[in-house]
Amino acid sequence: MKIAIASGKGGTGKSTVAANLACTLSRSREVVLVDCDVEEPNLHLFFPATTVDVPVTTPVPEIDPARCTLCGECGKFCRFGALSVLKDRVLVFPELCHSCGGCSLVCPQGAVREVPRTVGRVACSRPLPALVLISGVLNEGEVQAPAVIRAAKLLAEGHPLTLYDASPGIACPVIETLEGSDACILVTESTPFGLHDLRLAAEVVERVGIPAGVVINRSDGKDEETLDFCRERGLPVIMTIPFSREIAAVQNRGGLIAALLPGWEERFVALFEAVVKIAGVSP
């Protein structure tokens, strides 16, 4: 079973929910937690451990000057501006390339060869006896987040229970993360902004066609608007984490409430059971 944890924007406590859930589940079974927030992975902060790193490469063009006639086709085709055909050479901007492969297709001379270029890495570790953490890390200044997410998810393949922590927002990295998930946990806060972002995120999961439930984080007890929205959309609210000093204190030092505060492990077990029900598959 694959569960994605997402939110319409950053700072809702999405990673905290993912980390607590992973920690809780690892007490009773093998769990793989995949950090798909490759531009700013942070789950390793909850689970420090030594890692094994696997580089992630994507194909980028290399031009053979002996064959190239400087016809200009590749530069006209590339809509990312990764190629400039000049008077005496083709200039490649590998960091702008999205590896669509189009330039090698349009080149009439067969002068474009694809060579691998490292855009990031996947860091694997086993911070707890039954928890494997796989973190995708996109190198600074790179654009190909989906490639790193795909690699991280691929390394997690074959495990019976996988949690994907998505990047905040609703752009293509999130869709890449949601792809193939059985259910999605949407983390939100009960503020007007939180509701706006929840609405956007709910639309994305609906479009990808994944059943979802909502976790309200840092609730001040006045969640009516969020609850109304969820009822309207048929989204079950599967957990409410109240705003409390005690919880904030644990989380501010990078601690997990499931491990440190009484009662929370049980609540995260219940969260998992609720997600299983939503997904409609056996765990």
Task: Verify binding: residue 145, another protein, rule CB under 8 A.
Answer: no
Contact flags string 69-98 toward another protein, x per CB under 8 A = ---x--xx-xxxxxxxxxx-x-x-x--x--
If the CB atoms of residues 101 and 242 are measured against ligand SF4, the closer one turns out to be: 101
Per the CB < 8 A criterion, the answer to whether 115 and 59 are in contact is yes
The partner in contact with residue 86, picked from ligand SF4, another protein, none with C-beta cut-offs of 5 to 8 angstroms by kind, is another protein
User: Quick one: which of 124, 105, 123, 121 has its CA closest to 113?
Assistant: 105
If the CB atoms of residues 30 and 95 are measured against another protein, the closer one turns out to be: 95
**Please, what's the b/e burial string for 129-152 (b: 16 or more CB within 10 A of its CB; e: otherwise)?**
eebbbbbbbbeeebbbbbbbbbbb
Cα gap 47→42, rounded to integer Å: 9
- Strand pairing category for 183-189 and 212-219: parallel
Give the count of residues interacting with another protein (CB under 8 A): 17
The partner in contact with residue 91, picked from another protein, ligand SF4, none with C-beta cut-offs of 5 to 8 angstroms by kind, is another protein
Q: Tell which one of 19, 31, 36, 97 touches ligand SF4 (CB under 6 A).
A: 97
Q: Tell which one of 18, 19, 38, 63 touches ligand SF4 (CB under 6 A).
A: 63
Per the CB < 8 A criterion, the answer to whether 18 and 117 are in contact is no
Q: At what angle do helices 264-279 and 14-25 cross, to 10 degrees?
A: 100
The DSSP bridge partners found for residue 233 are: none
In the complex, the residues that contact another protein under the rule CB under 8 A are 72, 75-76, 78-87, 89, 91, 93, 96
Binding site for ligand SF4 (CB under 6 A): 61, 63, 68-74, 77-78, 80, 82-83, 85, 90, 97-103, 107, 109, 111-112
